[in-house]
Every structure is written in structure tokens, then in C-alpha cells.
Amino acid sequence: MTDLYTEILQEVRRLPVIDTHEHLPHCDEARDQNTDILKEYLSHYMSSDILSSGMKASDFAQVIDVSKPIKERWKLVEPYWEVCRYTGYGRALDIAVKQIYGFDGINENTIEEVNQAFIRNLKPGHFKRVLKDICGIQMSLLDGFTGGLECDKSLFRRVWRPENYVVSMDCSGKIFYWLERKYGITLRTLDDWIEAFCREFEDALNKGIAALKCGLAYVRSLRFEKRSYSEASSAFKKMIDEWEKNGRKEEEDFSYPVEVQDFMMHFILGKANEKKLTFQFHTGLQEGNGNTLSNSNPLLMNNLFLEYPDVKFDLFHISYPFYGEASALCKNFPNVFIDMCWAHIISPAASRVALNDFLDAVPYNKISAFGGDYLFVDGICGHLELARQNVSHVLAHKVKEGIFTLEKAVDIAKALFYDNPLQIFDLNKVL
């Protein structure tokens, strides 16, 4: 089994990769320069495990304070880092520093030298080196937070999140004023709101977006009921009347009525259908510490899968811990796909169990093996190696059972890492 696994892994490491999901800056130049390895590597994921292990938030704030000596900060975080080192988050970082900088993990003996190497690479060209040269990633779908919808198209294609038309993910008043200034309209009715969406959607299409994304499981249930135009219109008017009564303040944050939320999600799905855009949905575990996990169960979306049979729904993160539900939905619905982005570092073991089930239950052309889902580029390298190991373990097990040959295992791996996302997101025209 070991020799079989090693042989498959060697082949898998040579395969090209389509990365289905990243949160990186839109180009090298947009990276935070006031940083170091602790601040960047603890921008998410590992920080969640460290806080979960018991570190106080006030102490964590000191750890990411770049004005303090890094050795001093390492001493503060080291006891917590050590108990998190063997989670997927911790393992990915040790792999990353070995593959990128040549050091045997992050520890007391390496932290200063690794940090110096990290600082030396805070320059243009580092994204390409990691993504292309080390990882072999042909293209990444970018759900980024810088650059509007611009990006380095040698590395990325953009994904657009139309969430602010469903739930305000920022201050509501600021969103309204920004749209009014951008499009020269006044937002007073549901029709105005729809017009703003259509105009921003058209802008996004003109900038070459590859997909849509919904991350609303962080703030509400993924169950979106079908609502009539009249009830949504009435609810929208009441919301605006209340805002105007309070002085229509730009800094005021107000909640959209659920009738508006549900109506707009269905409206947006209708537009996705018209433009044949795949829709990525965050399902399963929410990043960070503390949330309502039940909001993210993919079974809540069953009505959407039935209502929009021609929309491709890409279920993120294997819906962990609901991967059994994701598998059943993908098996049942031709328009539902499984995406293993983030999953291999959430739990490498669960990802292997889930993939073993997926390959037994689901046509393998419906599974995408990898999306780094990182805010910083180095983590992608470690995550991809864990993904390659996981896929190779599962495929080796299937070969040993006599389900398919070694040659077929490599064909399936290529489908999971490259061919499937290429087709699911219709990326042939840009590669």
C-alpha cells in the first residue's frame, strides 16, 4: 500500500491544478508590507485554532504586533502553537515554510530565520513563484477583498459576490449611498434596488467574472423561501420609509426584511441562470470562533436545486461536517457539485473519509479536489500538498481494493484537480 500510495502521489504532484477558491490580494503589489510571518500566517485559520486552544484575545493581539521583537512574540504564542501544530491548519504552515523557504517547520530554532526569508520575499514575483512554479496552479478563482474586480489575469479570474443585495455585509447606509453615487440613481423602491443590481451585474460580466459566490451562511440560514414581488416590494418600502424617517443617514446600519432577502436571492439565481454562471455557496463550518453551524447545512438549499435545475451549484468545503448530506445532494441533483476547497486543512482525516464516500456515491466528474481558500499565498502551498496526499491515499486504497487500476487512479486525480473545475467553471476559454 505504501509503495502504491507513493507512486500515485508522485504522479499527482506532476498534475496541473485549477484552484477553485482564494481570498488573496488581487496582485503582488497589493500585499500588506507592514507585516511579518507571524502577522501574516495568523491572519486566519491557525489563529482560530490558537484561540480555540485557550489563548486570550489580548495576548493574541500582542503576537501579531509587528512593532515587537518576533522572538518575544513567538515565546508568547509557542505553547498554543504547539498544541495546534498537528491540526490541518498547523501542518499546512510547516509544509509551506519547508517547500518555500527550506526550513524544517516553524519553531523556536527557526522562527527568526524563517521570518527573514519571509520579509525578503515581500516583493513582486512571490505570487507567481508560489502559485505557478512551486504549486503548478494554472488558474485560481479569486474571491478577493482588494482591487474591486481587477486582478492579475496571469494568475486569477475573479468571482463576484452579489450578497449586499440580499443581506447587508457592510453598513447598509454606506452601501445604498455608494450605489446611488456610482449609478446616479435614488434607491427608494424594490425596482430601484433591482436596477442597481442589474447594472452592477453587467459591470461584473464586462470585467470577465468566472462565477458568483454566496457566503451568507455566516449571517443567516441558507433556506431561501420563494417570495412574491408584492410582498418583497412592500417590505422594501417599509424599510426605506423607516430609514428616511431616521434622517437617511449614510452611517446607519439597518437589516433588510427577510422577504427582500429571499426575493433577491431567487432573482439573482434567475440571472445566474440566464448568463450560465456557476454559483459557489459557502456550506458547512464557518471560519473563526463561534457561529450558528446549522445555518450552513446544504440540505437547506434543496428548494433552490429544484427551482433552478440549470444553475450549477458548487458546494464549498465538502459542507463539513455535513459531507454526507453534500454527497447525497450531489448524487441526486445533476446541477449540484462538490468542492473540496478549504476542506483538507479543516480536517485532513475527514477529507479522506469524505472523498472515499464521494467516489463511491457520486460520478467523479462532479468533484473538485482543491481550493486553497487563503488570505495569504504561502498557506496555499501547504494546503495543496495535504490535498495531494489525501487524494493519493484514497485512490491508492481504491486500487488496492481492485475498484480501478493504477492508470485509472491517475486519470481520476487529473479530473479532480484540473479537468472537472475547468468544465464546471467553463474556464477553457481563458486557459
Q: What does the pLDDT read at residue 430? A: 72
**Which amino acid is located at 428 in the chain?**
N
Single pTM value for the model: 0.96
Average pLDDT across the chain, whole number: 97
Q: What does the pLDDT read at residue 429? A: 76
Average pLDDT of span 294-303 = 98
Pair 84, 49: CB distance under 8 Å = yes
Average pLDDT of span 262-279 = 98
- Residue bearing cell 482591487: 147
What pLDDT digit, counting tens, does each position of 214-254 carry? 999 999 999 999 999 999 999 999 999 999 999 999 999 99
What pLDDT digit, counting tens, does each position of 87-104 carry? 999 999 999 999 999 999
- Residue bearing cell 479530473: 415
Average pLDDT of span 340-355 = 98
Helix (H) or strand (E) holding 336: strand 336-339
Q: Is the pLDDT of residue 1 over 60?
A: no
Q: Is the pLDDT of residue 143 over 70?
A: yes
Confidence tier at 420 by pLDDT (50, 70, 90): very high
What pLDDT digit, counting tens, does each position of 8-45 carry? 999 999 999 999 999 999 999 999 999 999 999 999 99
* Gap between the Cα atoms of 295 and 397, Å rounded: 34
What pLDDT digit, counting tens, does each position of 314-323 carry? 999 999 999 9
Instruction: Sort 117 into a burial class: Cβ within 10 Å, 0-12 / 13-18 / 19+.
Output: middle
Instruction: Sort 67 into a burial class: Cβ within 10 Å, 0-12 / 13-18 / 19+.
Output: exposed
Residue 74: count of CB within 10 angstroms of its CB: 20
What does each C-alpha distance from 280 to 39, 246, 311, 313, 342 come to in angstroms? 29, 36, 11, 6, 13
What pLDDT digit, counting tens, does each position of 50-74 carry? 999 999 999 999 999 999 999 999 9
Q: SS3 helix, strand, coil % of the chain, rounded to 5?
A: 55, 10, 35
What pLDDT digit, counting tens, does each position of 160-199 carry? 999 999 999 889 999 999 999 999 999 999 999 999 999 9
* Gap between the Cα atoms of 358 and 427, Å rounded: 24
> What is the bridge-based pairing of β-strands 279-281 and 313-315?
parallel
Average pLDDT of span 385-400 = 98
Q: Following DSSP, what letter does each residue of 46-100 receive, concatenated? A: HHHHHHHTT--HHHHHHHT-TTS-HHHHHHHHHHHHHHHTTSHHHHHHHHHHHHH
Confidence tier at 2 by pLDDT (50, 70, 90): confident
